[in-house]
Structure formats: structure tokens, C-alpha cells
Structure 1
């Protein structure tokens, strides 16, 4: 990742953490990488049964559309955000403990590759 890409993500992460904490959620996990237009990547996160989570996708300044789907430990789709935007958000309630898979699609990146990150926030009990 270039310095510019890192700065773009760090700026967004700081803003999102502040907003989440104002809403009673705490940072839980974050993952990142690089994707080119049309590419798909997967990320995994262990979620705890009985907790609410907010998953947010972000990307650098060259990205105008990323999408993602969330799969439960059995591989079933539980939710996703495929709107044409660069800030997809999904709320998930974990019905079971386990490793959930997030499939991220870089729908539009003007200058490949684009930096992407997934942020997971957990409700505070």
C-alpha cells in the first residue's frame, strides 16, 4: 500500500471509530488489503454468539464502489451491501459462535489496485 492509500484509510477509520463509540459500539476487528476493479477477496472474522456487530467497508480515494457479502460458519449468506457506494455497511447478529466470511468485491477502482479495509464493531454489552 502506498502512503497516500494508508493515509486515506486511516482518516476514514478514525472518523468511523468516533461515530461507532458515540453509538455505543466498540472496535472489534479490522482487516485490509489491495483489490483491483472486478477482483474479489475474502476475509474471516470470529464472531461471538448473541452479539450484535456492525461491519463497514472502506476504500482509498481512487475507489468509488465496493460491495460485500457476509456468510455464516455454514457458508450461508446472512447479509450484504451491494449498493453503488464506497461505504457499505451491514448489521449482523451472530446466532452462533464461529468464523464468519466476508466476501469483498471491488466494483470500481479508478487506479488499480485500491486499498480496502473491513471494520467490525461490536455492541457493548
Structure 2
């Protein structure tokens, strides 16, 4: 039996997602699916020098609904924020808003894996807003991580 780093990362991510208090409501097998998607993104981003700074934040959203999470971001630091949603989801959007509720970064593309790049000018609290644009079931499940370098 060969050891696979990707499989190990996927298993660890699944355990983290399943054990996370913020995502306790995500049922299996959706939690595993989301964890595997986040593990793939984390592998790519770690090769670019990023490490996880916050997350996973996870839950379920009905079509046309949103949820916000508040995180602290530091001025001048590079961040990548990655969202994923389950296979029944057709489009989820991601926005980052500053302390004045102004959008400073967003991914509104028609996709299931929004990625936002942001370098805040001011250290402070920022909101990450996920919006379920198109969902084939109620709810669709999502997860999001914040990476920094």
C-alpha cells in the first residue's frame, strides 16, 4: 500500500471539517466532499507559500441566501480566500467587505469554487460573505478557508 500525501491531506481535512464546531451541521458525505475540495486547494496554495489562517467555516445555504463570517486580516499581507460547495451547488459567490461594509474583493463568476485575492490596507475585522446563487437542493453545503503568506 503506497502512502499518498494528497489522500492523507484529504483525510485530515475531512476530520477537521467534521470536528469543527462551526460546521457541525454539515452531514456526511457532504462534509467529506467539501473537505476533499479544500484539501486540493490547500495543496496548491501551500506550494505557493500560503498557509491556513482561518477556517474552515462551513454550513448550508438555500438558493439566494447568504452568510457572513468575520475574520481579522493584517495590513499588507497577501490572502487567498477559497470557497467550495457540494456537487448539487451550481454557483456560489464570495465577497470580502471592510469595516465600512465596502466590498474590497469579490468572485462573482458562475462557478462552484470562488477564490478571492486580497491585500488589506488596514489591519482589522473584515467580513467574508458567501452567497448561494444557484443550488439544486435545499440546502447546498459550503465551506471556506482563509490562507495567508
TM-score by length of 1: 0.93
- The CA RMSD over aligned residues, in Å, is 1.0
Q: 1:114 Cα deviation (Å)?
A: 1.2
> Residues 78-117 of structure 1 correspond to what in structure 2 (within 5 A)?
78-117=104-143
CA–CA distance in 1 between the matches of 2:143 and 2:70? Answer: 12
- Give the distance between the partners of 1:109 and 1:11, measured in 2 at CA: 20
**Greater RCO structure (CA 8 Å; 6+ sep):** 1
Relative to its length, the structure with more helix (as a share) is 2
Q: Which has the higher strand share?
A: 1
CA radius of gyration, larger in: 2
2:67 maps to: 41
Offset of 1:108 from its aligned partner? 1.1
- Aligned to 1:27, which of 52, 77, 90? 52
Unaligned runs of 5+ in 1: none
Whole-angstrom CA distance in 1 between matches of 2:99 and 2:143: 21
Match of 1:65 among 63, 86, 91: 91
Equivalenced residues, count: 123
Aligned counterparts of 1:99 and 1:117: Cα–Cα separation in 2: 20
Query: Unaligned stretches of 5+ in structure 2?
Result: 1-25
